[in-house]
């Protein structure tokens, strides 16, 4: 008996009972759809997070005031109010910590930006010319902030794409004056459309020189310092050196360093938990589907007792009968797996179209794994019914009892 004969024999039987076969597939189909779409969402989320941080730049470390634990959500302020972060701190880091290539002193506030009758509340970021390189910002018009402007603070601004569009419409804003709070600044650039990015909505931001930002806020302190590591620097070592330097300058440890790697890592581990949950759902739904297949096959075997008796009378061995019914279960689950993969991929494609910000797509490994898993499930749960068929007493089976 060749394997093609087995497959043909089994598939004919399934086709004859196509309504029941179809019903028994539902469990497998649902399980596979669940796994395909959940892995697609998980992978999509992971890719989204990675993309976000990749566009922020690799090897970026933020220094913020306040001492706290390493994950850096909530400054605890143990020793009272922390010392201010200053432009001098930034200069000192850049000069004295060799692992650091660039230090960008930054202020972040919100203020109303207006031009003629139009006004908008936006994020005002004080930064240096280096910021554009670190963030891979591209400009649609003009240029970014001037270089070497750490003390003076020119009254200039670079508008985010959306801000420029809202204040100026289709007019060219370059050279125009806008009001930022009480201050008047000249527009020297407009950023290219960037979209939302974790931490900063570039399109809805106005960039000004750091010194200008401090002057506007009437403060001498920074909101944070953005550091770029030297290409081969070890982030942990660099962070330790930066913290040591600032502790020396402030006489206490009152800053926190947040590395993008750490944030990506912790988000990644959340997503890995999600993957485990997907695996759990896969296991449970396929077990349920497998039991469904087992029940259908048990019914099939008891309905086809006479046929089994006949096969034995004609000289089929127990192994051959076992194989016929095992193949039926395997074909059922394989069909369910492929159908579920098709429907799941379709559902993922629809979801992908509905949520343009996140690109979701079931990874190829998941598609292969889940179909294989469905097939294995069918075989495993098909063993008992097939074994029962092969053990039937031929005389009793031929009489139908």
Partner 1 sequence: MIQLEDLWRTYVMGEQELHALCSVNETIEAGEHVAIMGPSGSGKSTLLNIVGCLDSPTRGKYLLDGSDVAGLEEDALADVRLRRIGFIFQSFHLVPRLTAVENVEMPMIFAGVEPGERRERAQGALAAVGLSERRGHKPSELSGGEKQRIAIARATIMGPDLLLADEPTGNLDSRSGGQVLDLLGQLHREGRTLLVVTHDPGVARRADRVLVMQDGQIVKRVAGSKVTNLASLFEEGEAAE
Q: Which stretch binds partner 1 (CB under 8 A): 10-18, 147-155, 248-256, 348-356?
A: 10-18
Q: Are 275 and 38 in contact (CB under 8 A)?
A: no
DSSP state of 223: S
CB nearer to partner 1: pick between 5 and 171? 5
> Token pair 């949950």 is at which residue?
277
| Min dist. Cβ of residue 401 to partner 1 (A) | 13
Q: Any contact of residue 276 with partner 1 (CB under 8 A)?
A: no
Q: Are 226 and 208 in contact (CB under 8 A)?
A: no
Residue 329: closest CA among 290, 359, 302, 368: 290
Interface positions, 293-332, toward partner 1 (CB under 8 A): 306-307, 309-320
Q: Any contact of residue 28 with partner 1 (CB under 8 A)?
A: no
Q: Which two tokens stand for residue 98?
A: 């060799």
In whole angstroms, what is the distance from residue 132 CA to residue 145 CA? 8
CB nearer to partner 1: pick between 262 and 310? 310
| H/E run at residue 95 | helix 87-96
In whole angstroms, what is the distance from residue 34 CA to residue 42 CA? 12
Q: Which stretch binds partner 1 (CB under 8 A): 9-17, 164-172, 182-190, 259-267?
A: 9-17
- The DSSP result for 178-222, as a single string, is EEETTEEEEEEEEEPP--EETTEEGGGEEEEEHHHHHHHHT-S-B
CB nearer to partner 1: pick between 221 and 320? 320
| Min dist. Cβ of residue 18 to partner 1 (A) | 11
| H/E run at residue 257 | strand 255-259
Q: Are 212 and 151 in contact (CB under 8 A)?
A: no
Q: Which stretch binds partner 1 (CB under 8 A): 52-60, 71-79, 242-250, 391-399?
A: 391-399
CB nearer to partner 1: pick between 8 and 136? 8
CB nearer to partner 1: pick between 2 and 218? 2
CB nearer to partner 1: pick between 189 and 309? 309
Q: Any contact of residue 68 with partner 1 (CB under 8 A)?
A: no
Q: Any contact of residue 277 with partner 1 (CB under 8 A)?
A: no
Q: Any contact of residue 361 with partner 1 (CB under 8 A)?
A: no
| Min dist. Cβ of residue 326 to partner 1 (A) | 16
CB nearer to partner 1: pick between 10 and 238? 10
Q: Any contact of residue 5 with partner 1 (CB under 8 A)?
A: yes
CB nearer to partner 1: pick between 219 and 319? 319
| Min dist. Cβ of residue 385 to partner 1 (A) | 19
What's CA 81's distance to the chain center, in Å? 37
| Min dist. Cβ of residue 396 to partner 1 (A) | 9
In whole angstroms, what is the distance from residue 131 CA to residue 146 CA? 11
**298-322 burial, b for 16+ CB within 10 Å, e for fewer?**
eebbeebbebbbebbeeebeeebbb
Q: Any contact of residue 16 with partner 1 (CB under 8 A)?
A: yes
| Min dist. Cβ of residue 311 to partner 1 (A) | 8
Which bin fits 142, alpha (ψ -120 to 50), beta or left (φ > 0)?
A: left
Q: Which residues contact partner 1 (rule: CB under 8 A)?
A: 1-2, 4-5, 9, 12-13, 15-16, 306-307, 309-320, 394-395, 398
């Amino acid at each position: 008996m060749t394997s093609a004969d087995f497959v043909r024999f089994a598939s004919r039987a399934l086709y004859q009972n196509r309504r029941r076969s179809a019903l028994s597939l539902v469990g497998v189909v649902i399980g596979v759809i669940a796994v395909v779409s959940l892995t697609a969402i998980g992978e999509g989320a992971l890719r989204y997070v990675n993309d976000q941080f990749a566009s922020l730049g690799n090897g970026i470390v933020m220094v913020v005031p306040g001492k706290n634990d390493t994950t850096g959500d909530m400054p605890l302020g143990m020793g009272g109010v922390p010392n201010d972060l200053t432009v001098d701190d930034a200069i000192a880091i850049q000069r004295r910590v060799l692992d650091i290539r660039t230090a960008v002193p930054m202020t972040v506030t919100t203020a109303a930006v207006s031009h003629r009758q139009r006004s908008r509340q936006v994020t005002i970021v004080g930064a240096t010319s280096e910021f554009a390189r670190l963030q891979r910002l591209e400009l649609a018009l003009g240029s970014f902030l001037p270089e070497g402007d750490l003390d003076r603070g020119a009254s200039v601004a670079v508008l985010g794409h959306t801000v420029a569009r809202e204040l100026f419409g289709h007019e060219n804003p370059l050279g125009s004056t806008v009001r930022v709070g009480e201050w008047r600044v000249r527009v020297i650039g407009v950023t290219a459309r960037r979209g939302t990015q974790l931490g900063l909505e570039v399109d809805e931001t106005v960039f000004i020189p750091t010194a200008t930002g401090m002057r506007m806020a009437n403060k001498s302190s920074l909101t944070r310092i953005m550091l770029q590591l030297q290409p081969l620097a070890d982030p942990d070592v660099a962070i330790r050196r930066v913290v040591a330097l600032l502790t020396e300058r402030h006489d206490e440890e009152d800053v926190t360093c947040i590395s993008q790697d750490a944030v990506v890592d912790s988000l990644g581990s959340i997503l890995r938990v999600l993957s485990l949950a997907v695996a759990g759902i896969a296991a449970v739904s396929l077990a349920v589907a497998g039991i469904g297949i087992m029940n259908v096959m048990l019914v099939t075997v008891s309905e086809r007792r006479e046929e089994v008796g006949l096969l034995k009378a004609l000289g089929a061995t127990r192994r051959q009968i076992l194989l016929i019914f095992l193949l039926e279960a395997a074909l059922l689950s394989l069909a369910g797996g492929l159908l579920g993969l098709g429907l799941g991929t379709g559902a993922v494609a629809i979801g992908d179209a509905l949520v343009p910000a996140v690109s979701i797509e079931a990874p190829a490994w998941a598609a292969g794994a889940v179909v294989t898993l469905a097939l294995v499930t069918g075989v495993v749960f098909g063993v008992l019914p097939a074994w029962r068929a092969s053990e039937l007493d031929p005389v009793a089976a031929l009489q139908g009892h």
